[in-house]
Chains A and B, each alone.
Chain A
Amino acid sequence: MKLKIASFDFTCCEGCQLQLANGESTLTDFLELLDIRNFRELSSEQYNDYDIALIEGSISRQDEIERLQAIRQQAKTLVAFGTCACFGGVNSLKNKFPLNETLAEVYPEMPVETLLVRKISEVVKVDFSIPGCPVNKEEVERIMVCLATGSLVTLPKHPVCVECKARLNTCLFELGEICLGPITRAGCNAVCTTGKTPCLGCRGPSEEINMPAFVELIRERKLSLDDLQEKIAFYNAFGEFCSHEA
């Protein structure tokens, strides 16, 4: 049976939804799995009888809270879709600044409403999370197949480091860079480090990370703790470690 699915976006760039229309070579087969009930970006037909709701973005306005609560009432399975939904994402950087100063700088001449950025699970119950900035389409396809066939949905437990090694990349630490690959959940096929760009942890912590040991590694290598702090805080994906005393 096809999955009755809906896709909704909140405070975000819509890049994760866009991934649903990527992976063109398997797109028509992928769409055969789905009965798309509500997907404003893609279709003018909108119904409210969906079972699975993909939620993209974080929450930063009162009307978003109300819209999200209504979706929660309808959806049997609510999926936090992408890093903004799972952790707050880059939008959370706004929370470092006083809201009144932020508003005065960007909209000096008109009243605009904004709240501190929250991840989806701070507003409603989340049944499953698919992290990634953006989400990895192959992983999304795999998870949708699991949902359609009723199999157990899981994410990799190991860190990005494992995938990076499998791609035979030179370790970025050897090139003098701080990389969050050792502490970040795999599933992206190490796409950033393969492009010689350090991992910024968009998929959040892998299982059982040892943060003190990781910080010690940075110290031993005499790398910048400020740089570590900037990287850890980038996606707000490391919970209490984001404000880790570096």
Chain B
Amino acid sequence: MKRDYTLDIRHLTRVEGHANISISVKNGELVDARWAVVETPRFFEVMVKGLSAERVPFLTSRICGICSISHALASIRALERAMKIAPPNAAEKIRLLAMHGETLQSHALHLFFLVVPDFTGTASILPLIHSHPDLIKAGLLLKELGNEISTVSAGRCTHPVSLVVGGLSKAPEKQQLLQLRTMIEERKPALETACSFFHTLAIPDFQRETEFISLCNGSSYPSIGGDLISTDGVKRNENDYLLMTNEYTHDFSTSKFTRLSRESSAAGALARFNNNCNLLHPKAKEVAESFALQPVCHNPFMNNIAQLIECVHILEDAEELINVLLNMELHEIKTPYVPKAGSATGAVEAPRGILYHHLETNEEGKVVQADCIIPTTQNNANIHNDLKAITKQALKDGKNDREIEKLCEMVVRSYDPCISCSVH
């Protein structure tokens, strides 16, 4: 059918931040598809200049209300590497636990509050409180667990208080860790409920070949630091992040774009899975198998399933981390340091993908230069290209206007974009 069609979504709902989708079809042919971020920039890279190193993570955590722990730890890692500070082993383990909590909270928020309504045909999670009480209860139990893990390990879930340069300002009490372990055990059935529900969903059949980028350390599923790798075979040192990102701008978007070997690439749960799935906990591998998810998967909608699989990994790994911490002395938690001049990159796997902070300090330990590259920035070009490809496929399949609109919204949501974060 030779039809004309225009889609103009201003401020897409059920995503974090402000962005627009526009699609234009003439005579049955795609003319343009665009992903335009219109969020107000905040200029953190300027704001951080002149600030003392110890204050920096408290500022950069405010880049994002969902992944504040990742931002704090990316800055802390950059500063510790720049000033040659080695945090104590116990602090490193507690930081990993904090990352687990944040990722669980973020994935649960995305899957239950933002994604599920697309599959149930509701405008939000609110009607599901009555129509799907067990599912929503499970989602809230998991989200609360994520927040509790972060609160115990970092002092607060949004904008952490005890993650500091050199280690931690305060360690959790063993009693709190014991309670947390019990809470994790008790909430595993909630995750089973979630998995059963996601098995019933018809994930859209759409593929577009792309390059997936993530951290890799060879011994554990990636979280804090490591090499930068891609499914196209690129491998680089953490400090060479600029060669991995090659940032550029489009004047219709306040969020920047990146590329590596192809015209676009992807970061996030699916990228981590595609590069590191052999390092997942066996129980998470079982769940991946049950969804027939195998590397390299090029269906962006499977990012939702990859997030669910990561939740399984997190519950198991957090439990193991707690067991290790319970057998450790938690008194030595901060390495004293003298501020010095230096520069380094701190890369972490934020819930939505690889996050880079590059910081340069002077002899007083004050920041003189900063650069932050956000996961969503690294997904913008891929979202942009997916919108074109999925519209073309939908036209070929004879989908109606409303169906095309819904598919476009859903493919964007599958990336879990953190838009205000990307316009930092």
Q: What is the interface of chain A, defined by CB distance below 8 A to chain B?
A: 9-19, 21-22, 24-25, 27-28, 31, 36, 40-46, 60-61, 64, 89-91, 93-94, 96-97, 101-102, 105-107, 109-112, 114, 133-134, 191-192, 194-197, 200, 227, 230-231, 234
Closest to A10 in B: B40
Q: How far is the CA of A14 from the CA of B109 in the complex (A)?
A: 13
- What is the minimal beta-carbon distance from A191 to any residue of chain B, in angstroms? 5
Which listed residue (A9, A44, A195) contacts B169, Cβ 8 A? A195
- Tell me if A134 and B158 are in contact (CB < 8 A): yes
8 new A-B pairs (CB below 8 Å) besides A22-B158, A197-B169?
Answer: A19-B158, A21-B113, A36-B126, A94-B47, A133-B62, A192-B161, A194-B170, A231-B55
Q: How far is the CA of A109 from the CA of B250 in the complex (A)?
A: 9
- Tell me if A22 and B161 are in contact (CB < 8 A): no
Closest to B256 in A: A107
23 contacts between A and B (CB under 8 A): A13-B68, A14-B17, A14-B65, A18-B65, A22-B147, A25-B144, A27-B140, A28-B129, A36-B124, A41-B16, A43-B14, A64-B40, A90-B47, A91-B47, A111-B251, A112-B254, A114-B40, A134-B159, A192-B156, A194-B161, A197-B170, A227-B52, A234-B59
Q: How far is the CA of A110 from the CA of B109 in the complex (A)?
A: 34
Q: How far is the CA of A199 from the CA of B157 in the complex (A)?
A: 17
B42 contacts the other chain (CB 8 A): yes
CB contact list, B37-86 vs A, under 8 A: 40-43, 45-47, 49-52, 55, 58-59, 62-66, 68
CB contact list, B374-411 vs A, under 8 A: none
Closest to A102 in B: B46
Chain A residues with CB under 8 A of B123: 43-45
B162 contacts the other chain (CB 8 A): yes
Chain A residues with CB under 8 A of B49: 97
Closest to A109 in B: B249
Q: A13-B68, A109-B249, A197-B162 are in contact. Are A41 and B15 (CB under 8 A)?
A: yes
- Tell me if A40 and B13 are in contact (CB < 8 A): yes
- Tell me if A114 and B41 are in contact (CB < 8 A): yes
Taking chain B's interface residues, is the majority helix, strand, or loop, or is none over half, making it mixed? Answer: loop
Q: How far is the CA of A90 from the CA of B47 in the complex (A)?
A: 8
Residue among B129, B158, B162 facing the most chain A CB atoms (10 A cut-off): B158
- Tell me if A133 and B159 are in contact (CB < 8 A): yes
- Tell me if A44 and B124 are in contact (CB < 8 A): yes
Residue among A17, A91, A93 facing the most chain B CB atoms (10 A cut-off): A93
Chain B residues with CB under 8 A of A109: 249
- Tell me if A61 and B40 are in contact (CB < 8 A): yes
Q: How far is the CA of A51 from the CA of B55 in the complex (A)?
A: 39
- What is the minimal beta-carbon distance from B231 to any residue of chain A, in angstroms? 29
B11 contacts the other chain (CB 8 A): yes
B143 contacts the other chain (CB 8 A): yes
Q: How far is the CA of A22 from the CA of B109 in the complex (A)?
A: 10
Q: How far is the CA of A99 from the CA of B168 in the complex (A)?
A: 36
Q: How far is the CA of A194 from the CA of B117 in the complex (A)?
A: 39
